């Protein structure tokens, strides 16, 4: 068992049931990232593991998405000796706020906690492109997708945990009457 899977198991981060994911899809498995992020020792180790594949990439900025990406961008940036910033959702769209910006010459590493469809990462890469900066890669803790998501950049998943997901109208758990669990700030997982 790889180190990340051991951390997921030991922290109780992998939950089973009937969940609505941020993507809107339903799944029978949910990864509660905050079980990992609440422990400063584990968080620090995640920063080391996320930075490792990009140590020689001359990263100037590490960019994540609020909320988990705030912590991940900071600890990864610390290891790389650069700054960590984050984007926030404004009316459903990720934007740089709080005076954060990217310059056209900067080399940006995008960090993410859990990837299912890759929507948030694609939005972050759009922010990088719009600023004229260069994406050097993407790194996530867990890739839940069936066969990996192609972002068109070097992509590293610390572990893969392929999980079945369904559109709500096709969800067999809904059809069987299993109660949908809501978690997280949006009521979605």
- C-alpha 57/C-alpha 173 separation (Å) is 44
Tokens of 48: 């080391």
18 preceded by a cis bond (ω within 30 of 0): no
What's the pLDDT score for residue 8?
Answer: 93
What's the pLDDT score for residue 24?
Answer: 83
> Considering the domain 3-175, what is its CATH architecture?
3-Layer(aba) Sandwich (3.40)
What's the pLDDT score for residue 25?
Answer: 86
What's the pLDDT score for residue 183?
Answer: 59
CA dihedral defined by 148, 129, 88, 34, rounded to 10 degrees? 30
What's the pLDDT score for residue 2?
Answer: 87
Domain boundaries, the chain: 3-175
- C-alpha 71/C-alpha 161 separation (Å) is 22
- pLDDT mean for each 10 residues of the chain (189 residues): 88 90 86 92 96 97 95 98 97 94 96 92 97 97 88 95 89 92 53
């Amino acid at each position: 068992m790889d180190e990340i899977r051991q951390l997921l198991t030991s922290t109780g981060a992998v939950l089973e049931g009937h969940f609505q994911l941020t993507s809107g899809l339903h799944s029978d498995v949910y990864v509660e990232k905050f079980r990992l992020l609440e422990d400063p020792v584990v968080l620090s180790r995640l920063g080391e593991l996320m930075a490792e594949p990009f140590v020689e990439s001359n990263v100037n900025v590490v960019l994540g998405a609020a909320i988990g990406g705030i912590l991940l961008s900071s600890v990864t940036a610390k290891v790389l000796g650069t700054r960590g910033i984050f984007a926030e959702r404004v009316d459903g769209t990720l934007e740089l706020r709080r005076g954060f910006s990217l310059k056209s010459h900067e080399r940006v590493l995008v960090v993410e906690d859990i990837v299912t469809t890759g929507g948030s990462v694609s939005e972050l890469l759009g922010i990088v492109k719009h600023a004229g900066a260069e994406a050097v890669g993407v790194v996530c803790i867990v890739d839940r997708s069936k066969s990996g998501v192609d972002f068109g950049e070097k992509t590293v998943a610390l572990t893969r945990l392929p999980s079945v997901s369904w559109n709500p109208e096709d969800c067999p758990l809904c059809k069987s009457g299993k109660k949908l669990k809501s978690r997280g700030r949006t009521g979605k997982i």
